[in-house]
């Protein structure tokens, strides 16, 4: 069937029910538009909810300059999106939903109860009260010859002639939650420039761990360590050994640079400091203490507290000769080289790089090739590490796209 809007308020379709789409819907409804929101999954916000498992990190309290630097090559573009809706504004918006927040010891910002579900419930209640119509199990299939939106649902395909449209379809990771990148050819067919989707905040593979390390320590965390890549600021935190290599928050902080180095050079060499609170001289001095009849494993534990996964990784990546030469061993402990060869598959990544290029959009995130169609969220060509930076930019871009659609409608006398 074909839907048309006979109501006085213009109809705006929002495709995608993640944070960017929901924020666009809120802004549009508040601005007087009638909003029809469509999501292919059985419920909205699925990736948002899964990201909140173990603690909903909503944003970060970092100062403005280092915060914006997290967006690397897209710092300028993201700064424009955050100009009127930054981390503090996002926290205030959450408080307006009746959800309190707090700043953790790492500077990350969480809801007081650490959960995503109460926030999403309060938000959906507000959206429904403002008249937003939410349609689940409704997949966007592109446009028909007349420009109507094709929406496939349980009852077949419907056509919607909307006055404007906001696309917030996510990136290409976690397809099971709806971010499958199926929108890429639909936009490319319309002449929209899309940068190839690539893994971001992903794990990396090494040439191959030994059977001992893989069998005994895959899944083991390495806490309170520093990871460095030439040309990048070193980062401190923790990561996890995997069957294939390494992953985790500390790796994600450098994942964009590591991926780019692999693309450029075929591999990336990161260096791991297993004792970030001790100088190399102090480490060497402690290693050089007499160990008597104690094994080297006990000596490492007694003098440096190195055991478990840290000690196993040290053994994995050094030679037997290193363990007989304390200066060499100290250098290895302070800068243990790990050669990374491959990025793990896109669908395993927390997020994706690439997407609709900013050159394809105007300052209001409207597609230059498709006037009246706006894009927001992770489907844009930007990336950021975990820590709240991803969500902050998704919320802000949804707001900019929603405001842009309202402005476009007003300019045409539809609102």
**Digit-coded pLDDT (tens) for 224-235:** 999 999 999 999
Mean pLDDT, the chain, integer: 95
Quick one: pLDDT band at residue 7, thresholds 50, 70, 90? low
Q: Are residues 212 and 191 in the same domain?
A: no
Domain identity same for 384 and 398: yes
* Residues 94 and 221 reside in one and the same domain: no
Q: Which residues lie closer than 8 Å to 262 by C-beta, 6 or more apart?
A: 204, 268, 340, 341, 342, 343
Q: What is the mean pLDDT of residues 374-397?
A: 96
Assign residue 148 the CATH number of its domain.
3.50.50.60
372 and 334 within one domain:
no
Is the CB of residue 238 less than 8 Å from the CB of residue 221?
yes
Task: Measure the CA–CA gap between 25 and 35, rounded to whole angstroms.
Answer: 6
Regarding predicted confidence, which is higher, 257 or 174? 257
pLDDT of 4 higher than 50: no
| Amino acid 1: pLDDT | 36
**Three-state SS at 292:** coil
Q: Are residues 292 and 386 in the same domain?
A: no
Antiparallel, parallel or unpaired: β 156-160 and 2-3: parallel
pLDDT at 175: 87
| Residues present in the chain in total | 415
Residue ending a domain, choose from 343, 372, 390: 343
Tell me the percentage of the chain whose pLDDT exceeds 70. Answer: 98
- Same-domain status, 275 and 244: yes
Contact 112, 62 (CB under 8 A): no
Residues 377 and 338 in one domain: no
Residue 103: Cβ within 10 Å count: 13
**Is pLDDT at 221 greater than 90 in this prediction?**
yes
- Structural domain including 136 reads 2-199+352-411
Interatomic CA distance for residues 180 and 157, integer angstroms: 20
User: Residue 3: pLDDT above 50?
Assistant: no
Say which DSSP state 8 is in: S
Query: How far apart, in whole angstroms, are the C-alpha atoms of residue 277 and residue 79?
Result: 34
Distance CA 43, CA 121 (A): 12
Q: What DSSP state is assigned to residue 344?
A: P
Higher per-residue confidence, 7 vs 162 = 162
The 10s digit of each residue's pLDDT in 165-211 is 999 999 999 888 889 999 999 999 999 999 999 999 999 999 999 99
**Are 364 and 164 within 8 A, CB to CB?**
no
| pLDDT at position 320 over 70 | yes
The sheet with strand 235-241 has its strands ordered as 336-340, 268-273, 221-229, 235-241, 245-247, 204-205, 342-343
CA–CA distance, 304 with 314 (Å, rounded to integer): 13
Query: Is the Cα dihedral 2, 7, 10, 12 positive or negative?
Result: negative
Residues 186 and 394: beta-carbon distance below 8 Å: no
- Percent of the chain scoring above 90 in pLDDT: 93
Indicate the pairing of strand 221-229 with strand 194-200: unpaired
Helix (H) or strand (E) holding 312, with range, is helix 308-316
Residue 119 phi, psi (nearest 5): -65, -45
What mean pLDDT do residues 18-28 have? 98
pLDDT band at 408 (very low <50, low <70, confident <90, very high): very high
CA gap 92, 90 in Å, rounded: 5
The beta strand positions in 301-350, using DSSP E, are: 336-340, 342-343
Residues 339 and 406 reside in one and the same domain: no
Q: What's the token pair of residue 410?
A: 């007003």
- Residue 257, classified by CB atoms within 10 Å of its CB into exposed (0-12), middle (13-18) or buried (19+), is middle
Claim to verify: residue 325 and residue 358 sit in the same structural domain? no
What pLDDT was estimated at residue 54? 76
Assess whether 280 and 322 both reside in one domain.
yes
Q: Are the CB atoms for 240 and 222 separated by under 8 Å?
A: yes
- Assign 6 a pLDDT band (cuts: 50, 70, 90): very low
Counting the structural domains of the chain, the total is 2
Q: DSSP letters along 181-225, please?
A: -THHHHHHTTT--EEEEEEES--EE-S---HHHHHHHTT-EEEEE
> Do both 279 and 297 map to the same domain?
yes
Non-local CB neighbours of 13 within 8 Å, separated by 6+ positions: 35, 36, 37, 38, 149, 160, 162, 164, 165, 166
Stretch 59-70: mean pLDDT? 96
Residue at which a domain ends, from 324, 343, 362: 343
User: Facing residues of 15 across strands?
Assistant: 38, 167
pLDDT tens track for 66-121 = 999 999 999 999 999 999 999 999 999 999 999 999 999 889 999 999 999 999 99
Domain edge (last residue) among 343, 368, 384: 343
Same structural domain for residues 390 and 250?
no
CA distance 337 to 266: 16
Give, in degrees to the nearest 5, the angle at Cα 35 between 30 and 36: 155
Q: What angle is formed at CA 176 by the lines to CA 215 and CA 43, rounded to 5 degrees? A: 135
For the chain, give percent helix, strand, coil, nearest 5: 40, 25, 40
């Amino acid at each position: 069937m074909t839907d048309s809007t006979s109501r006085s308020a213009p109809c705006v379709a929002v495709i995608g029910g993640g944070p960017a789409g929901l924020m666009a819907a809120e802004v549009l409804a508040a601005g007087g538009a009638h909003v029809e929101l469509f999501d292919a999954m059985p419920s909205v916000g699925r990736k948002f909810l899964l990201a909140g498992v173990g603690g909903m990190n909503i944003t970060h309290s970092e100062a403005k300059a280092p915060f914006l630097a997290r967006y690397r090559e897209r710092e300028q573009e993201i700064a424009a999106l955050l100009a009127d809706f930054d981390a503090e504004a996002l926290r205030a918006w959450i408080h307006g939903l009746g959800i309190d927040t707090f700043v953790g010891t790492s500077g990350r910002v969480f809801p007081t109860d650490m959960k995503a579900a109460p926030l999403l419930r309060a938000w959906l209640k507000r959206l429904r009260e403002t008249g937003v119509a939410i349609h689940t199990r409704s997949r966007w299939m592109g446009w028909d010859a007349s420009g109507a939106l094709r929406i496939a649902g349980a009852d077949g395909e419907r056509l919607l002639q909307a006055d404007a449209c906001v696309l917030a379809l996510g990136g290409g990771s976690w397809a099971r939650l709806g971010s499958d990148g199926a929108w890429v050819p639909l936009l490319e067919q319309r002449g929209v420039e899309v940068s190839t989707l690539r893994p971001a905040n992903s794990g990396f593979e090494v040439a191959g761990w030994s059977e001992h390390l893989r069998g005994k320590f895959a899944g083991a965390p390495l806490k309170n360590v520093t990871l460095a890549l030439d040309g990048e600021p070193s980062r401190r935190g923790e990561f996890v050994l995997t069957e294939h290599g390494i992953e985790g928050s500390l790796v994600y902080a450098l994942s964009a640079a590591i991926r780019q180095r692999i693309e450029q050079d075929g591999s990336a060499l990161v260096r791991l400091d297993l004792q970030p609170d001790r100088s190399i001289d102090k480490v060497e001095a402690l290693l050089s203490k007499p160990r008597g009849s104690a094994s080297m494993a006990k000596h490492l534990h007694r003098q440096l507290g190195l055991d478990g996964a840290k000690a196993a990784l040290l053994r994995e990546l050094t030679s037997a000769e290193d363990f007989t030469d304390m200066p060499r061993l100290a250098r290895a402990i302070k800068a243990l080289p790990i050669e990374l060869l491959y990025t793990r598959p896109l669908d395993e990544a927390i997020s994706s790089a690439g997407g609709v290029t900013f050159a394809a959009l105007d300052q209001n995130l409207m597609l230059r090739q498709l006037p009246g169609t706006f894009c927001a969220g992770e489907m844009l060509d930007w990336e950021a590490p975990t820590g709240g930076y991803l969500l902050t930019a998704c919320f802000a871009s949804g707001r900019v796209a929603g405001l842009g659609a309202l402005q476009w409608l007003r300019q045409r006398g539809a609102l």
